[in-house]
Amino acid sequence: MTVSNSGRGRAALKRRHYGTIVIGAGAMGMAAGYYLTLRGADPLLIDAFDPPHTEGSHHGETRIIRHAYSMADAYVPLALRAQQLWEQLERETARLFTKTGVLRMGPAGSAYLSGQTEAAMRFGVPVESLSANEIARRWPGIRLPESMAGNFEPEAGVLSPECCLCAYRMMAEVHGADLLMNTAVRDIRIGKREATVVTSAGEYTAERLIVCAGAWTNRLLAELRLPLRVLRQTVGWFEADETLYRADSFPAFILNGPSGDYYGFPSIKGSGLKAGRHDGGQPISPDSPLLPFGFYEEDAGDLARLLQTYFPQASSSKLLKSAVCKYTMTPDEHFIVDSHPEHPHVWIAAGFSGHGFKFASAVGEMLSQLACDGTSKLDRAIFSIDRPALRDARIS
């Protein structure tokens, strides 16, 4: 089965009232829309663009999915559930996942690596600890100093984000969701038992509202003063020696080094070695034009240093293509998945950029459970909107 954007754009909707409205039909919102249909929750999905698109955080051909998370225990069951749901969606649509394994590299003996090993042991996730020399023998395209080491997670791999989004879009529509694309949301009015969404195509009401608006969350929910930062981030694809870096023999990777935090992907179908930097980035307004790759010196400079230091056989490689996206970050890099503090029928999902896409299937399912039942099967305490890291950093 081929999965593609339906190209439906903004349809003329005769209805004005729904069971649930989802604002933002990116990765989380589109997945939520599908799972809401399975629960008979009668969803309308509204987006300012026509997903998949390049104005948010779900484009770029590849996303890492791994399961042994050390940030907090809540992520591991969420990642494992997400993997199950991606595989289920794949069986119903098209290929979405490539099992390349994921290699995490950092200082030998550090909490960065030992925390992942401990999480893997607690949850039974296969992870192999490797020295710098062992990594070099297994993957000759990598060179680490002896002071570094790595953990290899063989069951992890790479998702195709645009295909994932298209698959959820298709399944949501097949199961009865209405989509209102290329439609700006101008205002939200929240009552005691319903919410009214004012758009460029008119007003729509629903008993339940889910806001998954990414970089535009604070614009729609300004009263909450959420400490969300929107950052411009870049990635590049580099010409690669396919004998060293092709996807059937080279893993996706995450690297914590003295100069920063990086991630990357093998060459998939000859696309080239892809790399990006996780930390850093330039603060931007959600509506700011995304300046092209190379506008800032560090766009190319950061990646050149990564290749020169750790992938020397690719250090002189030609840049084949590049991409720019928006990250939306919380201060502690944990997500927000919670109800509005004053309106229990309004749910908010935000702050996913940097490591959120892999969880989109499970977060979408969670949002459908929360909207319909007020509770979810997986622990979400760490994603509270009222946690200290958010309270202490509220926008003044």
In the set 53, 63, 340, 355, the catalytic residue is 63
Known catalytic residue at 278 = yes
In the set 20, 37, 53, 62, the catalytic residue is 62
The closest of 131, 133, 112 to 68, measured between CA atoms, is: 112
Known catalytic residue at 58 = no
Q: How far apart, in whole angstroms, are the C-alpha atoms of residue 220 and residue 290?
A: 21
In the set 59, 99, 175, 343, the catalytic residue is 59
In the set 66, 246, 274, 277, the catalytic residue is 274
Q: How far apart, in whole angstroms, are the C-alpha atoms of residue 119 and residue 143?
A: 26
Distance, C-alpha 271 to centroid of its chain: 21
Amino acid type, 201: A
Known catalytic residue at 274 = yes
Spell out where 154-279 has E strands.
Answer: 157-159, 178-180, 185-190, 195-199, 202-211, 229-238, 252-257, 260-265, 273-277
DSSP notation for 48-71: SS-SS-SSSSS-SS-EEE-----S
In the set 58, 278, 326, 345, the catalytic residue is 278
In a 10 Å sphere around its CB, with 0-12 CB exposed, 13-18 middle and 19+ buried, how is residue 343 labelled? middle
In the set 100, 183, 325, 326, the catalytic residue is 325
Backbone angles phi, psi at 255, to 5 degrees: -135, 125
Report the 10 Å Cβ neighbour count for 112: 17
Known catalytic residue at 20 = no
Known catalytic residue at 343 = no
Q: How far apart, in whole angstroms, are the C-alpha atoms of residue 354 and residue 351?
A: 9
Known catalytic residue at 62 = yes
Known catalytic residue at 192 = no
Listed in sequence order, the DSSP H helices in 149-191 are: 161-174
Give the residue numbers annotated as catalytic, written as ranges. 59, 62-63, 274, 278, 325, 358
